[in-house]
Structure 1
Amino acid sequence: MNDLIYSATMSADGYIAGPGGDMSWLGPFTGADTAADELAARTGALLVGNTTYGGDDPNEGTDAEGAFGGTWHGPQFVLTHRPPTTAAPDVTFTDDLEWAVGAARAAAGERDVNVLGADVARQCLELGLLDEVVVFVVPVLLGDGVRLFDRPGGRPVRLEHIARSTEAESTYLRMRVLKD
């Protein structure tokens, strides 16, 4: 069975995007990263929020545009209440989270499903569907923006370290979600 993994690059103060979803802050921190390459190789499908899908790619217009710096290609399942009128190759739009998780797991085969987007990750966590959290912490303080997790009034969720390392410009943390 494959895992449902939420991955994100995060500032040292807990933000994965700046105000309004701005991702330009990430530019200086992109580059070769063994842990990111391994995560990309394990990924068979993406489960993506609509804001992330249509968002601000710091590599837009370059060979590095797209998931994992442009190195990953495959099926994407985008959660939205407003699907576009024109289809995109390998992209399925839906407003049904549980269906999207099942379809993404089936499309991924033996590999994992990577969740991109804080709101989608929160919803997966609340439904008990999320298996892992992978965070690349980079040395910058954003001060405001989109948090890694934002669950006001939410209960604590315990995580167990699977792996951690420091390489190049980031600290890599891989944690399993402990389910009650």
Structure 2
Amino acid sequence: MAKLLYSATMSLDGFIAGPDGDMTWMAELPDTGPHAVADGLWQQIGSLLTGARTFFGNDPNEGTDQEGAFGGLWSGPQFVLTHNPPDSPVPGTTFVTGLREAVTAARAAAGDRYVNVLGADVAAQCLTAGLLDEILVFVAPVLLGDGTPLFRHPGGRAVPLEEISSTPGPIPSVWYRVPR
């Protein structure tokens, strides 16, 4: 069965998007060359599970050949968790109103690859429901000061994680397992 992986690039001060969901800071990051983890991640993804804010939000590569998930490299089935599905269909995208229904459909579509969770709110819902398997974070050399944090859980609780791997470099990464 496909695992749920929340992957995100985060500023050093813990934000995955700037104020009002601004993602333009991502396009301003320096090109640091090859990255052992990031460069092959898209090939491990079988489907996407995103929230509406992420799906309808701004793509820092909009209008370029790098537009879309994983810099335009990835294509495949996408499931958007939303309370307000659009009236018109979006090719390759299924809008789902329930978390468990969305996870089940995304897992079935992913086969033996990952369901990549995109969006802090959906990731937090998956974590709370005990559905999130792994978390992969790339730490960008930038301070945003405000925006969408990697996780938000008001009155939250500590969730201990088990390190799978870490990669040093200009944009370090750390990959964790969420223990059950």
Is 1:137 the counterpart of 2:139? The answer is yes
Residue 2 of structure 2 contacts residue 108 of structure 2 at CA under 8 Å; is this kept in 1? no
Question: Residue 11 of structure 1 aligns with which residue?
Answer: 11
Shift of 1:166: 2.1
Q: Structure 2 matches for 1:93-112, cutoff 5 A?
A: 93-112=95-114
Shift of 1:122: 0.2
Is 1:25 the counterpart of 2:29? The answer is no
Structure 2 unmatched ranges of 5 or more: none
- Percentage of matched positions with identical amino acids: 58
Shift of 1:89: 1.2
Partners of 1:124 and 1:42 lie apart in 2 by 20
Shift of 1:30: 6.9
Bigger drift between 36-45 and 113-122 goes to: 36-45
Structure 1 unmatched ranges of 5 or more: none
- Where 1:60 maps in the other structure, the secondary structure is coil
Shift of 1:141: 0.6
Which letter maps to 1:171?
Answer: P
- Where 2:85 maps in the other structure, the secondary structure is coil
Partners of 1:86 and 1:30 lie apart in 2 by 38
Question: Residue 159 of structure 1 aligns with which residue?
Answer: 161
Q: CA RMSD of the aligned region, Å?
A: 1.1
Which letter maps to 1:13?
Answer: D
Partners of 1:88 and 1:33 lie apart in 2 by 32
Match of 1:128 among 127, 130, 137: 130
Question: Residue 72 of structure 1 aligns with which residue?
Answer: 74
After superposition, the C-alpha distances for 1:104-123 in whole angstroms (9 at most, x for unaligned) are: 00000111100000000000
- Where 1:59 maps in the other structure, the secondary structure is coil
Residue 46 of structure 2 contacts residue 113 of structure 2 at CA under 8 Å; is this kept in 1? yes
Aligned length: 178
- Where 1:69 maps in the other structure, the secondary structure is helix
What's the TM-score once normalised by structure 2's chain length?
0.95
Shift of 1:34: 3.1
What's the TM-score once normalised by structure 1's chain length?
0.95
Question: Residue 152 of structure 2 aligns with which residue?
Answer: 150
After superposition, the C-alpha distances for 1:1-42 in whole angstroms (9 at most, x for unaligned) are: 221000100000000000000001111237553312222111
